[in-house]
Amino acid sequence: MAAKRSTPAAGGKTNAKSNVSPDELKKFYREMLLIRRFEEKAGQLYGMGLIGGFCHLYIGQEAVVVGLEAAASEGDKRITSYRDHGHMLACGMDAKGVMAELTGRIGGYSKGKGGSMHMFSKEKHFYGGHGIVGAQVPLGAGLAFSDKYRGNDRVTFTYFGDGAANQGQVYETYNMAELWSLPVIFVIENNQYAMGTSVQRSTKSPSLWERGAAYGIEGEEVDGMDVLAVKDAGQRAVAHCRAGNGPYILEVKTYRYRGHSMSDPAKYRTREEVQEMREKRDAIEHVRQLLLTGGHASEEDLKAIDKEIKDIVNEAAEFSKESPEPPLDELWTDIYADA
């Protein structure tokens, strides 16, 4: 089976596509901005010592989850790695609950017992938040297995990075997912650096989506700085899976502006490289320009959205400081479910 490849528009500048209305464009702007401002605030709280441990920010990659959530339907599932704050906000989880988990408080999604890398919401079909690189890939295929077993048409978005793409369990999973026609979309968020190791320094086969062809899995490369292109590709992937054609791979080319985690000195890339992406390819600025030049929104409209987002994030930060630490008896709960 030949894998196919979508062609990103010249220069990566995609025009507003017919599949997106002005309202939806505004929604994308709002959702991407929420993730960015949330993450900036998380970085700030980390600097103040309110968030501990590892904290992996999603700044720069916002278009990936926002575009793919636009292609999802109610009941679809999603699972990802430890760089998970953006995924949670994009699927509708409450910013307060996410931030309070980051500060380790009882108001967090895991009652403060999971932290940045381990959060879940059954209600929003968000299955984590997993701290072991690549482990979420078979888990995601297993979620898809449960839907196929039940005979419904749900799909599971299984996100992983370019680093995880070299894990053996990913290929074990590709093999079984295609063998059993599991409705799983493998989303490779290729931000070009696995911690500090670039794709070029990790593999001689840098086109990650094409590896699926060895297992008969179709896929494509997507411009991950263009939320419209991401939604468009997401819709193709969802249609493929829902129709019972088995898995699909999206390699979404994106870029993380911040370090791998908060303690990353970023010596493996130049400041100029980061600055160039921010200035020329920023996903939020792209949508902002589409809204303004298309006459869909005024500067004032966007300022109002900015203000609204700032309020949500400030409220989340306040909640995350005021929510108490978990009571001490929480140490001993949730180890076993009632048999």
Partner 1 sequence: MATEILMPALSPTMEEGTLAKWLVKEGDTVQAGDILAEIETDKATMEFEAVDEGVIGKILIPEGTEGVKVNTAIALIGDAGEDMSAAPTAAAPAPIAPVAEAAPAAPVAAAPAAPVADHSPDWPEGTPMKTQTVREALRDAMAEEMRGNDNVFLMGEEVGEYQGAYKISQGLLDEFGAKRVIDTPITEHGFAGIAVGAAFGGLNPIVEFMTFNFAMQAIDQIINSAAKTLYMSGGQMGCPIVFRGPNGAAARVGAQHSQDYAAWYAHIPGLKVVQPYTAADAKGLLKQAIRDANPVIFLENEILYGKTFEVPDLPDFTIPFGKAKIARAGDDVTLVSFGIGMTYAMEAADRLAAEGISAEVIDLRTLRPLDYGTVLASVQKTNRCVTIEEGFPVASIGNHISAYLMQNAFDYLDAPVINCTGKDVPMPYAANLEKLALVTTDEVVAAVKSVTYR
Residue 38 makes contact with partner 1 by CB under 8 A: no
| CB 330, min distance to partner 1, A | 8
Tell me how far apart the alpha carbons of residues 207 and 242 are, in angstroms, rounded to a whole number. Answer: 26
- CB closer to partner 1 out of 229 and 317: 317
| CB 225, min distance to partner 1, A | 16
Which residue has 């894990």 as its token pair? Answer: 167
Residue 242 makes contact with partner 1 by CB under 8 A: no
Dihedral sign computed on CA atoms, order 275, 209, 175, 179: positive
Residue 278 makes contact with partner 1 by CB under 8 A: yes
Residue whose C-alpha is closest to residue 173's, from 76, 255, 79? 79
Residue 19 makes contact with partner 1 by CB under 8 A: no
Residue 128 makes contact with partner 1 by CB under 8 A: yes
Contact set for partner 1, span 129-148 (CB under 8 A) = 129-132, 135, 137-147
Among 21, 47, 201, 270, binds partner 1 (CB under 8 A): 47
Q: Which amino acid is at 236?
A: R
- CB closer to partner 1 out of 10 and 335: 335
Residue 160 makes contact with partner 1 by CB under 8 A: no
- CB closer to partner 1 out of 14 and 61: 61
Residue 113 makes contact with partner 1 by CB under 8 A: yes
Among 4, 10, 122, 300, binds partner 1 (CB under 8 A): 122
Residue whose C-alpha is closest to residue 288's, from 305, 302, 277, 274? 302
Tell me how far apart the alpha carbons of residues 147 and 140 are, in angstroms, rounded to a whole number. Answer: 11
Q: Could you tell me if 121 and 98 are in contact, meaning their C-beta atoms sit under 8 angstroms apart?
A: no
DSSP per-residue letters across 47-81: HTTSS-S-----TT-HHHHHHHHTT--TT-EEEE-
Q: Of the listed pieces 13-21, 23-31, 81-89, 255-263, which binds partner 1 according to CB under 8 A?
A: 255-263
